[in-house]
Amino acid sequence: MKRQSLCAAVLLLWPWTGPALRAEDDRWKDFRFLLGTWVSETKPGTGTGTFTLEPGLGGKVLIRRNFADLPAGNGRPAEKHEDLMVIYPDAADRQVRADYYESEGHVIYYSIMPNDTGLVFTSRPASPGPRFRLTYARGENNTVRVKFEIAPPGKENPFRSYLEGTVRRKGPGE
């Protein structure tokens, strides 16, 4: 009897387990190229990194988890970086937004716009601090170019590159 109850419970819960993105759900069509697990393509000794982007909450949001190990250098100690981003449709204005949290305590609220090559995340107006822009551009052979830029407060559009590089989709068995 217990076995039948367990089987019934598993069957009842089945629709809620695992990432669920249906082809007919085009809410995330602009993000599909970025779904999966990605690893950074770096020169030896410059650090390593990986991120995943996958659906959460039954496909209602996308969740990006990012990890990086940066070696010591230029008088700075080795560092581990971790961040979490939740991407969601904002019902109030029908825009796609993202909230970014990281291990150093920074929080960034983004608006997201697709373009011909990928996605551009631009920080929404907040306190009088710097502005941020994160760009994912499709590359060839399962690669994506990632660029993170910062603009000082009070300047309209002087974004300057802070970090940039290429990530490669992680294949099966890697």
3-51 per-position pLDDT tens digit: 444 333 333 333 333 444 455 457 899 999 999 999 998 766 677 889 9
Model confidence pLDDT, tens digit, residues 107-150: 999 999 999 999 999 998 766 788 999 999 999 999 999 999 99
Write the burial class of residue 111 (CB in 10 Å: 0-12 exposed, 13-18 middle, 19+ buried): middle
Residue 13 within any structural domain of the chain? no
Domain of 34, in residue numbers:
20-169
Residue for token pair 């590089």: 165
Measured distance CA(65)–CA(53) in Å, rounded: 7
Neighbours of 136 (CB within 10 A): 22
CATH number, domain at 27?
2.40.128.20
Contacts of 59 (CB under 8 A, 6+ apart): 19, 20, 21, 22, 25, 27, 28
> How far separated are the first and last CA of the chain, in Å rounded?
42
Among the ranges given (11-15, 69-73, 90-94, 143-147), the one the predictor scored with the smallest mean pLDDT: 11-15
CB 146 within 8 A of CB 154: no
Residue 28 within any structural domain of the chain? yes
Quote the number of domains for the chain: 1
